[in-house]
Amino acid sequence: MQDLESLKQKFLRYLAQTSDEPMGVVVERAEGCWIIAKDGRRYLDFISGIAVTNIGHAHPEVVQAIKRQVERYLHTMVYGEFVQDVQVALAEKLVSIVEAAFKRATNGQWRGELQYYPTNSGTEANEGALKLARKFTGRKKFVAFQNSFHGDTLGSLSVTGREIYRKPFEPLLPDVVFLPFGDVDALRQIDETVAAVICEPIQGEAGIIVPPDEFLPALRKRCDEVGALLILDEVQTGFGRTGKWFAFEHWGIVPDILTLGKALGGGMPLSGFLARREIMRVFAENPPLCHVTTFGGHPVCCAAASAALQVMERENLPERAAVMGTKLRDALEQLANRYPQIVEVRGKGLMLGLEFVTKEATQTFVKGCLERGLIVGGTLHTEKVVRIAPPLVITDDEIGWAIEVMEGVLK
Ligand code: PMP
C-alpha cells in the first residue's frame, strides 16, 4: 500500500497535470472490457480510453502482431521514403474498408481511388486535412461548428468551437467562421471563399450531439455548390462506434477528406486522413515534401492496426455496436424514467450520452460509479453530460452489471 501511495505521489510530482482532479486509477493491467488496478480492484471500462479500445484492451491478436513486428524492425526512415510491407498492408486494408463505406453511403454511386496519409494523433490528422484543403483549393477560409472539438494543436484548436479553450492561445488561424451545429439555414454562410468545412458527424465533446437528419446532407450539398471541401472528423465516431463503420453512413453522404484516429491503432497511437488520389497529390509537388512526418505510420502501430481492423471485420463489430447499443440505450432510458436526475439519453450505437440536471448531479454520478468499479466520464464542453462508450465487444452480462451499479449510485 505504501508503494501505491508513493507511486501516486510520483505521478503528481513528475508528470505534468492536465487538471486538479485526475481519475487516479493505478493501472496494473487491462484485458477485454476491464482494467485491473494495482490494489487488485477491477474496473469495467465504459469509456474505452475515450473511444480507443473498440475491440477491448490488449486484444491478443493485436499483441501478437506487435510482437511479430517488434522482432523485425522498428523505425527505419521518415514516412514516405521506404517501402514498408506492414504499412502498405494497412493502407490497402483501410482504403478498401473506407471505399466500401463510401460506396454503401452513396448506393454504389461513389467513384474514385482513396489514399491514406498516416499520422500519430487525431489532432495531427486534422492539421493535415486543413493544410491539404488549403493547398488543393487555393483558398484560405475555414468553416467549423460551435462546440466542436478537433484537437489541441494550434490549427485544430483554431477550428475548435469553444471560446474558453481558444482564448488563452490566441492569436490562432484567422478566417475561421463558426456556425451553429445542426442549423441548416446557417449553411448559406458557406461561400466560394471557403477552403473547407470541418465537422464531426456526431459531436462528441459537445456532449454527444446528434444533428437533425437533414443537416449533413444539406452540408454536403452546400459544399458542392461552392466548391469547398468537406472534412469529416471521425476520430471519435469511426470504426464502428456509432453502429456503422463510419458515422457518415447514417446519412448517406461522404466527405472529401476523412480524418481518423483513436480506435484505428487497436490501442497504439495511429491516425490519419484519407482523400482521393488527385487531392492528396498536392502534398507531393510545388514544393515536394511540403507535408512530412517522421513517425506517422510507424511499423509497429501499422501492424497493430491491421490486426485490429481484422478483428472488427471478422467479429462484425459495427453491427454488434448497433445491437448492443440499442440494448444499453433501452436500459439507460429505463433508468432515466425512474430517476429524475437524468434529463435525456442520446447518441447512436455505443456512443451514448446521459444528460443530468446539474453539474453536481453529474459529478456525483461519475464519482459514485468509479468508487463501485465502473468507469464513466464527462465530455469536455459541458458539465452535465456523462459519456457512455464501452468497448464494442461488451457483453449482455457486463451491461447488466453496469446498469446495476448505475442504479445503486442513482439511489
Ligand atoms: N477530433 C475529435 C472528434 C476528437 O474527439 C478528438 C479527441 N477527443 C480529437 C480530434 C483529437 O485527438 P487526439 O487527442 O488524438 O489528438
> What is the distance in A from the centroid of ligand 1 to the CA of 235?
6
Rg (CA), the chain: 21
CA distance 143 to 1: 52
**Which residue's CA lies nearest to atom 5 of ligand 1?**
236
Check if 260 has its Cβ closer than 6 Å to any atom of ligand 1. no
Catalytic residue among 102, 181, 215, 233: 233
> What is the distance in A from the centroid of ligand 1 to the CA of 126?
9
Check if 234 has its Cβ closer than 6 Å to any atom of ligand 1. no
> Per the structure block, which three cell numbers stand in for 243?
453502429
Q: Which pLDDT value is given to residue 349?
A: 98
**Mean pLDDT of the 292-301 span:** 98
> What is the distance in A from the centroid of ligand 1 to the CA of 309?
20
The pLDDT-based confidence of 348 (bands split at 50, 70, 90) is very high
Beta strands in 215-281 (DSSP E): 229-233, 257-260, 271-276
> What is the distance in A from the centroid of ligand 1 to the CA of 206?
12
The pLDDT-based confidence of 49 (bands split at 50, 70, 90) is very high
CA 60 to chain CA centroid, nearest Å: 23
Examine residue 171 and say whether the peptide bond preceding it is cis (omega within 30 degrees of 0): yes
CA distance 211 to 233: 14
Name the residue among 249, 254, 248, 200 with its Cα closest to residue 229.
Answer: 254
> What is the distance in A from the centroid of ligand 1 to the CA of 276?
23
Q: Mark whether 149 is an active-site residue.
A: yes
The pLDDT-based confidence of 2 (bands split at 50, 70, 90) is confident
49, amino acid identity: G
Helix (H) / strand (E) element for 88: namely helix 85-105
**Mean pLDDT of the 305-330 span:** 98
In sign, the C-alpha dihedral spanning 400, 405, 410, 411 is: positive
Averaged pLDDT of the chain: 98
234, 244 Cβ separation under 8 angstroms? no
Best residue among 124, 165, 232, 236 to mutate for probing ligand 1, ranked by most atoms within 8 Å of CB: 236
pLDDT tens digits, one per residue of 349-365: 999 999 999 999 999 99
Question: Is 267 strand, coil or helix?
Answer: coil
HSE-up (13 A, CA, CB side) for residue 222? 21
**Mean pLDDT of the 188-202 span:** 98
**Which residue's CA lies nearest to atom 14 of ligand 1?**
122
Q: Which pLDDT value is given to residue 1?
A: 67
pTM attached to this predicted model: 0.98
With 70 as the cut, is the pLDDT of residue 218 above it?
A: yes
CA distances from 233 to 17, 68, 141, 171, 238 (A): 27, 32, 18, 23, 9
With 70 as the cut, is the pLDDT of residue 147 above it?
A: yes
Check if 273 has its Cβ closer than 6 Å to any atom of ligand 1. no
Check if 320 has its Cβ closer than 6 Å to any atom of ligand 1. no
With 90 as the cut, is the pLDDT of residue 381 above it?
A: yes
- Neighbour count for residue 368 (Cβ, 10 Å): 17
The pLDDT-based confidence of 282 (bands split at 50, 70, 90) is very high
